[in-house]
Amino acid sequence: MAKTYEGGVPLAEVVRSGFVEGSHRGSVVVLDAAGAVLAGAGDVTSPVFPRSASKPMQAVGMLRAGLRLTDPADLALVAASHAGEEFHLARVGGLLRGGGLEPSALHCPPELPVGEAARQAVLRAGGGPTRVQMNCSGKHAGMLLTCLAAGWPLDGYWREGHPLQQRLRATVEELTGEQVAAVGVDGCGAPVHAFSLTGLAGAYLRLVHAEPGSAERAVADAMRAHPELVGGTEAEDTRLMRGVPGALAKVGAEGVIAVALPDVGAVALKIDDGAGRPRMPVLVSALHRLGVAAPILQEYAELPLFGGGVPVGAVRPLW
């Protein structure tokens, strides 16, 4: 039986008008450039579901299984949780057409875009949920194309026992250096694997330190070259990769984010209650421990709270 995640410690507090009205618990680990633990808080050795922060590793597995994409921007989209903006949807459509596939081949559920601006645009136009708009549609398109390249059946490509998913699990285990402790069903319907935050940070470090020409380096380079495809115009991971030279970043649901910088180190964290608002202030605090400084980090050092339309407090890191 897998070791159970023990939960974290207070990582951020919510201060309104000088009064602490709440806090967020979680776990965070900081690795140095050699992969050794430099600092940590909470439980960083027990398994958690990193959710979409696993996508870069899954993209590596797809390349190893035979996926061939001529445009690195397409590879960035395969590793993405896109916001559903027009340029995201157009590229997903192009991937599907390149494989002779229809959107109905995607197993991810029909949804509205996760990006607020894109969602409102769809609603104003009288549109509704579609599979292509779902934030994991790039990953699912990549999975379908990988199956075509490898000669695997498309039917059930999302199921744990499918050859594709077995190959992706093996890649995750190799990159994290851990055995998968549990397998669940992610929000998009594909498998999600449980491993530790330390394993997650180590995997990201391996991607940015990989040799040029390797599948690992191809994914890291594609994401960093096309950050707007990984998240969206205003997404946290997109803005981090734009603002911190060399950074590889990816968010995951339930308060997860992982970041790595070559020759510097890596960070992985999880907010226990799944809230997104303390994620970036805690990450900034962790990156400061690696000596990382950039104007974009100052923007995220605290999250402002408003009362009556004006700032009256902040979500700020405790660690």
Burial class (CB in 10 A: 0-12, 13-18, 19+), 247: buried
Q: Residues 134-162: what's their mean pLDDT?
A: 98
**Contact 267/239 with Cβ under 8 angstroms?**
no
**Contact 282/26 with Cβ under 8 angstroms?**
yes
Per-residue b or e along 195-232, where b marks 16 or more CB atoms closer than 10 Å to that residue's CB: bbbbbbbbbbbbbbbbeeeebbbbbbbbbbebbbbbbb
Q: Report d(CA 255, CA 88) in Å as an integer.
A: 23
Q: Residues 155-178: what's their mean pLDDT?
A: 98
17-20: Cβ within 8 A, 24+ apart = 17/307, 17/312, 17/313, 18/313
Per-residue b or e along 32-60, where b marks 16 or more CB atoms closer than 10 Å to that residue's CB: ebebeebbbbbbbbbbbbbbbbbbbbbbb
Q: Report d(CA 231, CA 223) in Å as an integer.
A: 10
Name which of 246, 165, 182 is nearest 1 in CA terms. 182
The pLDDT of residue 119 is: 96
Reply yes or no on whether the pLDDT at 2 is more than 70. no
Q: Residues 70-97: what's their mean pLDDT?
A: 98
Name which of 201, 216, 189, 172 is nearest 269 in CA terms. 201
Half-sphere exposure of 149 (CA within 13 A, CB side): 17
Identify the bridge partners of residue 23 per DSSP, sorted by sequence position.
Answer: 13
Q: Residues 29-50: what's their mean pLDDT?
A: 98
Name which of 135, 69, 62 is nearest 98 in CA terms. 69
User: What tens digit of pLDDT does each residue of 47-83 get?
Assistant: 999 999 999 999 999 999 999 999 999 999 999 999 9
Q: Residues 90-115: what's their mean pLDDT?
A: 97
Largest CA distance in the chain: 61
Reply yes or no on whether the pLDDT at 1 is more than 90. no
Identify the bridge partners of residue 195 per DSSP, sorted by sequence position.
Answer: 48
Residues counted in the chain:
319
The pLDDT of residue 144 is: 98
pLDDT interval class at 23 (50, 70, 90): very high
Backbone angles phi, psi at 226, to 5 degrees: -130, 60
Q: Residues 248-277: what's their mean pLDDT?
A: 97
pLDDT interval class at 3 (50, 70, 90): confident
User: What tens digit of pLDDT does each residue of 202-259 get?
Assistant: 999 999 999 999 999 999 999 999 999 999 999 999 999 999 999 999 999 999 999 9
Percent of the chain whose pLDDT exceeds 90: 98
Reply yes or no on whether the pLDDT at 312 is more than 60. yes
Mean predicted lDDT score pLDDT of the chain: 97
The pLDDT of residue 10 is: 97
Report pTM.
0.96
